[in-house]
Structure 1
Amino acid sequence: MDSTSKTSFGTLSKAFNKILRLRSSSTISGDVALHKPNFSENPDELSGDHQNDIEVLAANLFAGVSAVKAAYAQLQLGHAPYDLQVIHSADRAVVIQLKRLSELKQGFLNRAQLKQSSSRAQAQVQEQRNLLKTYKMITAKLEYELRSKESEISSLQSELRVSEKQCRALEARLRPGRTLAALDDLHLSGLNPAHFLTLLRSTVKSIRSFVKIMVREMKSAGWDLSAAAGVIQPYLRGQRNSNHNIFAFQSYVSRIMFSNFQRQDFGLGGPVRDRHSFFAEFTELKFFKQKKCFERKSQFGKFCRGKYLGLVHPKMEASFFGNIEQRKLLSSGQGSPETDFFEGFAEMARRVWLLHCLFFSFKEEDKGVIFQAGRGSRFSDLYMESVAEDEEESEQGGVDRRPEVGFTVSPGLESAER
């Protein structure tokens, strides 16, 4: 291709110079024709007709070259996707333009024939039309490539969703209750209290997991767990079984995390939303990792920051980590800490937020009521579950006593369908 282009250009240049020499020799004497004419050093020295002929020829040459360029662009377009008709059309266009360039060469030998050809203005207009045609071809090719890429992206996204679903199913088998795979393919029309109960249990498990991390940090910092539990729940002071301390910490975390749960805006403020909006957010955030959810500039981000700052006192954080850098980072809104402690908190917060979204996805008449029982309330097997049932039976020694609530560890939900 390169060698052919160079040869054609050289031939055209030689022919152009030869034509000029022939035209000059026909209008001057033989003695003067022996000297080399000067055509390009000063165009103003050329006669008006001669200069006009050159300008017309140049304009037609540029128009012809732009037409060939447009045909070449059309030829490329015909290869991706392959279109034989487009290729043949481009081939014919190239042949036509090459013939036209040849006619221009021959026409320059005959001044009368050149004057019958297109004027300089017409040639320039044709050149712009050819350039426009070239750009249209390039645009069409780019649009095709864009559609191809979009199709590829859509296919890869579909494969990713299938892979993620398979991963969640495997994780659910390995760690039952730790994933939300049971809520996959959930639709608003099929929503029922059983789905909420499934998510509630999963949320409670995430709270317990975070509390275990928090207790581990307390032990590392040298805390007196019994004293700390007694501050949260005075009921536990003087209790011999230290295993109940963790329930006090769970009640503390649950109380903070579920505060304002019954309010549509979770106490954050914001516009009134309908059940479709809540379910759409539930469906979207369900597949997000906790860190990615937190980085979103949304109500959920405000929820996480507010709950963390309310749950983890500055003195507590300083005792755990020797500083309050996590608190400062969250308060600044510039990012989120990359620690096991915060990751556990973020996952817990995500599930509480998802539970809130699902709660307000129900119709008003189907929506349940979240509640907690106060100390001394009668224990109900229908609505409550004892976290220390085995210990209570051993302490009572078989005596038939009416069980009472010591304190609420996790909130309950009274379903509308009861």
Structure 2
Amino acid sequence: MDHNGGLLSSFNFAHMELEYYACCLSPVCYKNTAHLDLDLCSYRNFCMTHSFAVVVICDTLQMEAVKPSAVTPSKSKWIRSLSKVLHLHTATAGIVPDDGVQKVKSKDTEEWNDSKTAKRLSKKFDSLHDEELERKVALEALIAKIFATVSAIKAGYAQLQHAQSPYDAEGIQAADQLIVTDLKKLSELKQCFLKKQYDPSPEHTMILADIQEQKSLSKTFEIMGKKLESQLKLKESEIIFLREKLDESNKHNRLLEKTLNQSGQLFVLDKLQLSSLTPSNFSTVLGQTVKSIRSFVRLMLDEMKSADWDINAATSSIEQGVVYWKADDKCFTFESFICREMFKAFHHPYFSLYGNSVSEGKRRPQVFFDRFMEMKSVKVREYLAVKPKSTFAKFCRTKYLQVVHPRMESSFFGNLSNRDMVNSYQFPDTMFFSLFTEMAKRVWLLHCLAFAFEPEASIFQISKGCRFSEVYMESVAEEAFLSSESEPRVAFTVVPGFRIHKTVIQAQVYLSQLKTRLENHVCMYVRYSLGCHSIDSCFHIMLVLCY
């Protein structure tokens, strides 16, 4: 009785408290008990404090086999509900009633739960990673298709350009259709990107896109190659056209040169009077004479090369001990030789063709001036054909035999027929002899003009080894002044100089570092009169004096 009474007392006490808390925590009654300072935390504390007693009470009541009449139906129902709630709470808190002792879950169970959770999370993360990777691969496949489409558009545009020149209507239409189709594909790819409609097999798509891109690039390069080939053909046709124009220009230039050699710039002297004769007029004729000499030298060098002459040996035989700045400068040596031969006896009236038997009447300046005005406009070939025994014809014969050596003529033409004809006052109709007679005409005119001055002009050349002087000399090689090793000296005179009254027309010289240099010498310039009789003194007017 006491035992049951104690249990009932405990039960009643627990019942009262539980009923109070249940009433307070009930969703229905919670609003009506808002004045009470109770919450779930109070309920949780209560359960933790009285759970053991309530469980014991419930178990005891079950063991006692209490009669249904002993407990009212409502209380019995409430006790069962409360028992379920308490069992649920204790299971959630990890506490189970076992002989009145609370037990905690074992570490093995916790580790097992942690491992299981980790595996579950790992699987979840792997699944998310796979999804992200698939999305990236699909996006790369879409980008590859975009690049392939852009390459196709580029190829179509190149095809369109190629079809425009030369104009190809069908090619333009086909290229335009390809460009429109590829632009539509590009628009479709944009919509796929916005709607995230990616390709289900991205690897296969990427390979196909790469193949398409390479095909488009190959097509572009092929079109560019065709375009370059057409441009090359166009350039080749332009080259052929320009070559034809060049040939025509060269022919025209040769014709003009021939005409110039025949008349030159002497037409400006048509109204020249003896009283108005100036050194400038003489300088003009001298310039034309030098041009004619150089034309003949070029022809002679071409003939020498065609005949396999040793140019170096020929140069050394004319001027020895000369160091040339350039290989092409050796032409000045031949020019010097021609000038030396053509201007020999220049200071004698009529080049001393008549010796000293020239009358005073023929030595007058007016006579030489009239000969100059007569000869300057005539054609040499016609003049020689009409007057083969004239003074000028004799001059041409004499100078040809002096300038053109028999061995030279034989090597050039294989025989001496030209020489034999000239020697008998029969003048051959060849290019070589025509240029020679044009050169001879210029020298003859210069000679006549020199004797037309009063007093007559003087001629001079520069001795080998002299220092350069700008007053009397003009260098034909500008490279001589670029050398800083030592002061260059005169190697030889190319074109002689002239002096008319107080005017000096400079001699053209070649400056070089001589192999055997004349040291401690100074050149003295001496005026030389055309009336001298010695040809050697004419060409050696430079006296070399020691200090």
Deviation at 1:175, TM superposition (A): 6.0
Q: Deviations over 1:288-341 (max 9, x none)?
A: 1121233322111111000000110111000000011100001112x2111111
Q: Does the aligned pair in 2 maintain the 1:221–1:319 contact within 8 Å? A: yes
- For residue 290 of structure 1, the aligned residue among 380, 384, 399 is 380
* CA displacement, residues 191-218 of structure 1 (integer Å, 9 cap, x when unaligned): 0111011101110111001000100100
Distance 1:287-1:225 versus aligned 2 partners, 3 A rule = same
Flag the 1:175–1:332 CA change in 2: closer, same or farther, 3 A: closer
Q: 1:224 aligns with which of 306, 310, 314?
A: 310
Partner of 2:493: 408
Q: State TM-score, norm by structure 1.
A: 0.55
Structure 1 unaligned regions, length at least 5: 1-169
Letter in 1 for 2:305: K
Q: Which residue of 1 aligns with 2:415?
A: 323
256, 270, 273: which one aligns with 1:184: 270
Q: Does 1:264 align with 2:313?
A: no
Is 1:178–1:206's contact at 8 Å kept on the other side of the alignment?
no
Residue in structure 2 matched with residue 208 of structure 1 by the alignment: 294
* More moved, 209-218 vs 293-302: 293-302
Distance in 2 of aligned mates of 1:263 and 1:191: 21
Size of the alignment, in residue pairs? 240
Residues 226 and 353 (structure 1), Cα distance of their counterparts in 2 relative to 1, 3 Å cut: same
1:251 aligned onto 2:336: yes
Alpha carbons 1:226, 1:242 under 8 Å: kept:
no
Is 1:308 the counterpart of 2:433? The answer is no
Of the three residues 473, 476, 479, the one matched with 1:384 is 473
Residue 281 of structure 1 aligns with an amino acid whose one-letter code is R
Task: State the alpha-carbon separation in 1 of the partners of residues 275 and 461 from structure 2.
Answer: 29
Task: State how 1:84-103 maps to structure 2 within 5 Å.
Answer: none
Q: Distance in 1 between matches of 2:324 and 2:446?
A: 34
In the aligned structure 1, how far is the partner of 2:266 from the partner of 2:436? 17
Asked if structure 2 preserves the Cα contact closer than 8 Å seen for 1:293 and 1:300, the reply is no
Residue equivalent to 1:30: none
User: 1:403 deviation in Å?
Assistant: 3.7
Distance (Å, rounded) in 2 between the aligned partners of 1:385 and 1:178: 23
Q: Distance in 2 between matches of 1:330 and 1:214?
A: 18
Contact 1:282 1:357 in 2 (8 A): yes
Task: Write out per-residue CA displacement over residues 254-279 of structure 1, whole angstroms, 9 at most, x where no aligned residue.
Answer: 00000000011312115232111111
For 1:356, what is the secondary structure of its paired residue? Answer: helix
How far is 1:285 from its partner? 0.6
- Residues of 2 paired with 1:255 and 1:182: CA distance? 28
Q: How does 1:43-122 map to 2 (within 5 A)?
A: none
Matched-pair contact (CA < 8 Å) for 2:457–2:498: yes
Deviations 1:60-94 (A, max 9, x none): xxxxxxxxxxxxxxxxxxxxxxxxxxxxxxxxxxx
What TM-score, normalized to structure 2? 0.42
CA RMSD of aligned residues (A): 2.1
Greater strand content:
2
Instruction: Give the superposition deviation at 1:185.
Output: 1.2
Summarize the alignment of residues 232-251 of structure 1 with structure 2, pairs less than 5 Å apart.
232-236=318-322, 239=324, 241-251=326-336
Q: Is the 2:325–2:480 Cα contact (8 Å) retained in structure 1?
A: no
1:343 aligns with 2:434: yes
Paired letter, 2:399? K
State how far apart, in whole Å, the 1-side matches of 2:266 and 2:462 are.
Answer: 28
- Deviation track 1:363-403 (CA, whole Å, cap 9, x = no partner) reads 12xx33100001011211122111111x2134x1x45x444
Query: What's the CA shift for 1:171?
Result: 5.7
| 1:242 CA drift (Å) | 1.5
Q: Would you say the 8 A contact 1:294–1:346 is kept in 2?
A: no
1:279 aligns with 2:365: no
Question: What is the SS of the residue equivalent to 1:377?
Answer: coil
Residues 1:197 and 2:283 aligned together: yes
> Which whole-Å CA distance do the structure 2 matches of 1:248 and 1:211 have between them?
10
Partners of 2:279 and 2:339 lie apart in 1 by: 21
Label 1:317 to 1:185 Cα distance change in 2 as closer, same or farther (>3 A): same
Identity of aligned residues (%): 45
Cα distance in 2 for residues equivalent to 1:267 and 1:348: 19
Deviation, 1:240, is 6.5
CA distance in 2, matches of 1:175, 1:288: 12
Q: Distance in 2 between matches of 1:356 and 1:304?
A: 13
Question: How far apart in 2 are the matches of 1:235 and 1:288?
Answer: 43
1:145 corresponds to which residue? none
Q: Which structure 2 residue ranges, 5 or more long, are not aligned?
A: 1-254, 504-547
Identify the residue that residue 214 of structure 2 maps to in structure 1.
none
Residue 220 of structure 1 and its aligned partner are, at CA, apart by 0.5
3-state SS in 2 of match to 1:265: helix
Change in Cα spacing, 1:205 to 1:407, as seen in structure 2 (3 Å) is same
String of CA shifts for 1:157-205, please: whole Å, max 9, x gaps: xxxxxxxxxxxxx969x96994422322111111011101110111011
2:454: which partner in 1?
363
Tell whether the 8 Å contact from 1:286 to 1:354 is kept in structure 2 after alignment: yes
Distance 1:175 1:347, change over 3 A: closer
Secondary structure of the residue that 2:498 maps to in structure 1? strand
The aligned amino acid for 2:326 is N
